[in-house]
Chain A
Amino acid sequence: MSKERLSSLLLFLVGILALIQSAQFPMGTLEKPGPGVFPLMLSVLLAVIGVLLLIAEKGQGKLNWLRIIREKGTVWKIIILSAAFIAAFERLGYLASSAAYLFLLFFWVCHSRAGVAVALTAVITLGSWYLFGTILGLQLPTGPRLL
């Protein structure tokens, strides 16, 4: 199956899942429509469009999952590091978590030398803390909150 067709199928499935869910919400009456009416209409429309796209989309070539995983190395690394950053953000505080995040992005993703990565990390972390935390007064977690 091509990636275009797979995406159309996913849209159809999301529509069907939403349809099943919204059918459980109160529908009300025509005089007083309930919270289920609008999501129900939308999910039917989404499923129909999913089918239409499935028919219309021809797509180019089959999906090769192994190739996708191999070729998108940088994308995977960024996603993994960002997820780790989000998990650590409030627990470790802004300075520690962003320093680790930036260092790994520079060193592991961008393959810069360790010294350059450390220098850039220090400048950006402290600079952004000063700009956003001190000058703009944004509330950033101070950490550490390990539990």
Chain B
Amino acid sequence: MNIFQNLGLGFQTALTLKNIYFCFLGCLWGSMVGVLPGIGPLAGIALLIPATYGMDVTGAIIMLAGIYYGAMYGGSTTSILMNIPGESASVVTCLDGYQMTKKGRAGAALFIAAWGSWVGGTLSVIGIMLLAPTLADLAMKFGPAEMFALLLVAFVLLGSLGTGSFLKSMAMIILGLLVGTVGLDNLTGAYRFTYGIRDLSDGIGFVPVAMGMFGIGEILSATEETLVHEFYQPRLRELLPNRQEFAASLGPILRGSGLGFFAGLLPGSAHVLSSFLSYIVEKRISRRPEEFGTGCIQGVAGPETANNAATGGAMVLFLALGIPTGPAIAVMMIALLIHGIRPGPLFISEQPQLFWSLIASMYVGNVILVALNLPLVGLFVNLLRVPFWILFPVVLLICMIGTYSISLSRFDLIVLLGSGVMGYILRKLRYDLAPLVLALIIGPTLEESFRQALMRSGGSFAIFWGSPMALSFMALAAFLLFWSIWRSLQPVSGKKS
């Protein structure tokens, strides 16, 4: 069957009333959590995982994916209207988006952000369609050595593309990998670092650690800041951009789509990276770069398109190789595992209906999001009228419920709180948290690949550069490692972009 036949079948499933409803729910919830600072897609997805237990797996993944890309849409609303990024990927949108609001062009900025998000999201779904099956076919040829080398590349990239220092990011990766070794060793059945505690025999759960670090840790940090917001609520008739703004945004939207998709393939903070890259590119090629930061439509169109297109890129690695590129994707992976589905090279061939339904639902979801985000912008902005002192106890409670309901374990709540405190301290010390949580979830696969490769080669390390693919990945990992070390040793120049 070719792509179009597969997609047709996917649409047949995605366009059933039940799945449209799940997609709508996911998009609505995603937009809401994207708007609210402190509750990102990660908490949004984790909270709804238990609600999917009674659902069929297709509906479940359609809803959870809707939350993921819906949060990217929602994040832009508050960046433009209030200078508050609901999502870290929308930080850069504040620069010109809020300036446009001050100039009375908030409606146009919101429209272009939604339009760009739709174009970026839709084009990136085409990218998934074309790239994921090819990549999965290629990955079928992967042995443990190739998988180990590929994961090594992912980890070095995580370290070098992080927001903090390279050494600190590497420390977080190693710590995450070490935490990932706690519990039962799958290859020998031996227990490691469990100290006789039965709750530790299954290892330390990813969801409590991620929710603690990003949910509770964020709340603890935010209680130290006093935020006063100005509210601006655009009317529906103000939403249309003028012809000049529309024309000026076309180029950044197309460039942002390509840039965002490929940036999404990189592990770590791909959404943040994609929006910053797009902003830098647009500023560099602009004839009037001095206008950036003063309310320039290109500064909204490019980054907002790019962070939505990055969602597609991230889904490629997740679906085709089983590698989550960010914490939110990793929570989706947990949800699939709970439903007995393992993303990876065999996923597309073994679950074609699920894969193509998900792809088709992403087209549907992008349309739903545009329809939701423009007319309901006032409603989403009103969510921010809720004072922080009311919001944070609710967020704390949501984190607790979300974590507890996944495994019904009080131990997970203890891990949640411990991770929250640790996340708060690490944040204060300027450590990047994403590498730690990603290493925690990918770590066991890295270890298994390493040991299986050695077993297969009879103890010879040459297996790690024995095939052209493994050699290429190892060379790339080595190059990136040396480049990152060299870069971190360079003295910081006074001029910052």
Interface residues of A (CB under 8 A from B): 3-4, 7, 11, 14, 18, 21-22, 25-26, 29-39, 42-43, 45-46, 49-50, 52-53, 56, 72, 74-75, 78-79, 82-83, 85-86, 89-90, 98, 101-102, 105-106, 109-110, 112, 120, 124, 128, 132, 136-140
**Chain A hits for B175, CB < 8 A:** 11, 14, 46
A78-B220, A86-B413, A105-B393 given; A35·B187 CB < 8 A: yes
Q: 10 smallest A-B Cβ distances: which pairs?
A: A30-B459, A35-B185, A110-B389, A136-B51, A31-B459, A105-B393, A138-B405, A35-B190, A86-B413, A38-B447
For residue A108, give the distance in angstroms from its CB to the closest CB of chain B: 11
Residue B50, interface by CB 8 Å: yes
Contact A4 B429 (CB under 8 A): yes
**Chain A hits for B190, CB < 8 A:** 25-26, 34-35
* Other 9 A-B pairs with CB < 8 A, given A7-B429, A75-B220, A110-B393: A21-B193, A31-B458, A42-B174, A53-B171, A56-B167, A78-B219, A79-B417, A86-B400, A140-B401
What is the bound-complex CA distance between A90 and B193, given in angstroms?
Answer: 27
Contacting chain A: which of B227-235, B361-369, B449-457?
B449-457
Contact B174 A45 (CB under 8 A): yes
Residue B192, interface by CB 8 Å: yes
**Chain A hits for B431, CB < 8 A:** 7
**Chain A hits for B455, CB < 8 A:** 31-33
**Chain A hits for B167, CB < 8 A:** 49, 52-53, 56
Contact B178 A98 (CB under 8 A): no
Contact A42 B424 (CB under 8 A): no
Contact A37 B397 (CB under 8 A): no
Interface size on B, residues (CB 8 A): 57
Q: Select A79's contact among B392, B421, B459, beta carbons within 8 Å.
A: B421
What is the bound-complex CA distance between A67 and B398, given in angstroms?
Answer: 31
For residue B80, give the distance in angstroms from its CB to the closest CB of chain A: 29
Q: Select A35's contact among B53, B188, B219, B417, beta carbons within 8 Å.
A: B188
Residue B280, interface by CB 8 Å: no
Residue B349, interface by CB 8 Å: no
Q: Select A38's contact among B392, B414, B451, beta carbons within 8 Å.
A: B451
What is the bound-complex CA distance between A43 and B179, given in angstroms?
Answer: 11
Q: Select B188's contact among A26, A30, A74, beta carbons within 8 Å.
A: A26
**Chain B hits for A140, CB < 8 A:** 401, 404-405
Q: Tell me which of A78, A98, A132 has the highest count of chain B C-beta atoms within 10 A of its own C-beta.
A: A78
Contact B414 A39 (CB under 8 A): no
What is the bound-complex CA distance between A56 and B489, given in angstroms?
Answer: 10
Residue B385, interface by CB 8 Å: no
A75-B224, A136-B51, A138-B51 given; A3·B429 CB < 8 A: yes
What is the bound-complex CA distance between A111 and B420, given in angstroms?
Answer: 23
Contact B48 A136 (CB under 8 A): yes
**Chain A hits for B192, CB < 8 A:** 22, 25, 35-36, 39
For residue B382, give the distance in angstroms from its CB to the closest CB of chain A: 17
What is the bound-complex CA distance between A32 and B457, given in angstroms?
Answer: 10
Residue B315, interface by CB 8 Å: no
Contact B216 A49 (CB under 8 A): no
What is the bound-complex CA distance between A45 and B439, given in angstroms?
Answer: 14
Residue B340, interface by CB 8 Å: no
What is the bound-complex CA distance between A94 and B190, given in angstroms?
Answer: 36
**Chain B hits for A30, CB < 8 A:** 454, 459-460
Residue of B nearest to A128 (CB): B397
**Chain B hits for A49, CB < 8 A:** 167, 170-171, 174
For residue B175, give the distance in angstroms from its CB to the closest CB of chain A: 6
Contact B397 A101 (CB under 8 A): yes
1/0 contact trace for B347-391 toward A, CB 8 Å?
000000000000000000000000000000000000000000110
For residue B453, give the distance in angstroms from its CB to the closest CB of chain A: 10
Q: Tell me which of B216, B394, B431 has the highest count of chain A C-beta atoms within 10 A of its own C-beta.
A: B394
**Chain B hits for A7, CB < 8 A:** 425, 429, 431
1/0 contact trace for B256-293 toward A, CB 8 Å?
00000000000000000000000000000000000000
1/0 contact trace for B160-181 toward A, CB 8 Å?
0000000110110011011001
Residue B487, interface by CB 8 Å: no
What is the bound-complex CA distance between A41 and B219, given in angstroms?
Answer: 35
What is the bound-complex CA distance between A82 and B168, given in angstroms?
Answer: 29
For residue A6, give the distance in angstroms from its CB to the closest CB of chain B: 9
Contact B390 A120 (CB under 8 A): yes
Contact A137 B54 (CB under 8 A): yes
Contact B188 A46 (CB under 8 A): no
Residue B9, interface by CB 8 Å: no
**Chain A hits for B220, CB < 8 A:** 75, 78-79
Residue B472, interface by CB 8 Å: no
Contact A89 B178 (CB under 8 A): no
Residue B408, interface by CB 8 Å: yes
**Chain A hits for B53, CB < 8 A:** 137
What is the bound-complex CA distance between A103 and B171, given in angstroms?
Answer: 39
**Chain A hits for B401, CB < 8 A:** 128, 132, 138, 140
**Chain B hits for A90, CB < 8 A:** 410
Contact B410 A137 (CB under 8 A): no
**Chain B hits for A4, CB < 8 A:** 429
What is the bound-complex CA distance between A75 and B401, given in angstroms?
Answer: 20
A-B contact pairs, 5 of them (CB 8 A): A29-B459, A38-B181, A39-B181, A78-B219, A106-B393
